[in-house]
Copies of this chain bind each other. A is one copy, B any other.
């Protein structure tokens, strides 16, 4: 008998009929002899509806009250699912975050979990009940409701699995698992059977939206195996787990793309120490995060300093940088919103040379100019003209043999 944590997202809980479907899945797992904790999100669309109400009331809703408001969506879901299970003859009990309790810090709307007590849940599990927990919710030390940020139910599920030392954490979603790349762009995209926490973290931060990043960090920290799978069929999904030998033999596990950034270049800056800090502090003072940063090799005492920010921050960043450019005597500021970041990810890169070369050659062959490059141990990102995004993803997917059944390194 195993202890299983299952999480069902908003789409899986989107209608009464789908909630019934979730209940049948839960029942099946329970009937197979497992102890079961089920984490659910708000019905699809509900959270957006609540956010809209808040924005109608005032421009800047108070953060504590905002969390009280949006947490109500999950309350509806736990009640409906527990009700459904009980009507099917199963013992079931719903828990709000505060009832578990899931204790967090008091950073509303992106609270971090501090502690989870498993005592009450254990009692109900030992009693043969299916425990249904509201995802996304926590409670800070004074007893106010907090929420964990968009996608926070993933983190709730993984954290509960860690607290309960569950055998597996199953994250049910509307796709079959984690794909080598976006199937909407590349028809050959293949579901990945097994992927390491590190790769998943890179893919998640690069724009693949299957799991909330924080849930993967949590899983890595507490060694929780995550099984990402579809709630609409019985296909095995993707196992997110500790890195193993098999994974290292795969050169590239996934290709991500992100159209949500824009590029700003400060041209012909006097190449003196402290210039980079001056440019970046103007942005960080305004709470703008910078993603990629490239500084060209200096030439006759002048250098170009280029970076990317999210499109949402672009206008504000550009205005600030134009001010800063004057102060530091830069000749010009160039900006481009029509860019896209394409990245390849794989732990296999660590032990294989030539991956970058192959990536750049592949893009060059198609006439795709690389504007910026950024690398980590297991990732290479390039910034290219946005119009080449799909093409770049497809040719890289093919070049690294990712659609083939066996994707071992050459």
Give the interface of A toward B (CB within 8 A): 16, 19-20, 50, 53-54, 56-62, 64-66, 68-69, 71-72, 75-76, 78-80, 82-84, 86-87, 93-94, 96, 98-99, 143-145
Contact = CB atoms under 8 A, between A and B. Distances in A.
8 contacts: A50-B76, A54-B79, A54-B80, A54-B83, A62-B87, A65-B82, A65-B83, A72-B75
B83 A69 contact: yes
A233 B50 CA distance: 29
Nearest to A49: B76
A80 B70 CA distance: 10
A96 to B, nearest CB: 8
Contacts of A54: 79-80, 83
B69 A53 contact: no
A86 B65 contact: yes
Nearest to A23: B57
A39 to B, nearest CB: 15
A58 B81 CA distance: 11
A258 B94 CA distance: 39
Contacts of A87: 57-62
A277 B59 CA distance: 64
Contacts of A71: 75
Contacts of A83: 54, 57-58, 61-62, 65-66, 69
A79 B69 contact: yes
A72 B69 contact: no
Given A62-B83, A86-B62, A143-B99, A68 B75 contact: yes
A197 B84 CA distance: 42
Contacts of A99: 143-144
